[in-house]
Amino acid sequence: MKDYKVFASLSYFSIFFAGFIFPLAVYFIVQDDEVKYHAKRAFISHIIPFFTIILFILGIFSGSISSIISAGLLFIIINLIILIWNIVQGIKILL
C-alpha cells in the first residue's frame, strides 16, 4: 500500500516533470481505487492550464491593453493556484 501512495503523490508532483501523461498512465496501470481517484484529480488539474492558455490568447487578440493585462494576470494567478494545490495535495498524500 505504501508504494501506491507514492504513485498517487507523484501524480500530483508530475506537474513539474511529466505533465498530464504521468497521471493518465497511473490511472490506467495501477488497480488501486484510491490511486485512481488521485490520478484522475491530478490529471484534471494538469489540463486546466491549457484552457487558461486559450483564455490568454483570446485576451491578446481582443485588442485592448486592459484585456491583455487582465488575461495575463488571470493566467498567472490560476496557474500559480494550480501549482500550489498540486504541491499541497502531493505532500498530503505522503503524510
Give the DSSP per-residue string, 23-53.
HHHHHHH---HHHHHHHHHHHHHHHHHHHHH
Q: Which domain holds residue 71?
A: 2-94
Q: How confident is the model at residue 1 (pLDDT cuts 50, 70, 90)?
A: low
Q: How confident is the model at residue 88 (pLDDT cuts 50, 70, 90)?
A: very high
Q: What is the pLDDT of residue 2?
A: 62
Q: What is the pLDDT of residue 54?
A: 84
- Mean per-residue pLDDT for 16-37? 88
Q: What cell numbers appear for 4 in the block?
A: 501506491
Number of structural domains the chain divides into = 1
pTM, rounded to two decimals? 0.82
Buried b (16+ CB within 10 A) or exposed e, 26-44: bbeebebeebbebbebbbe
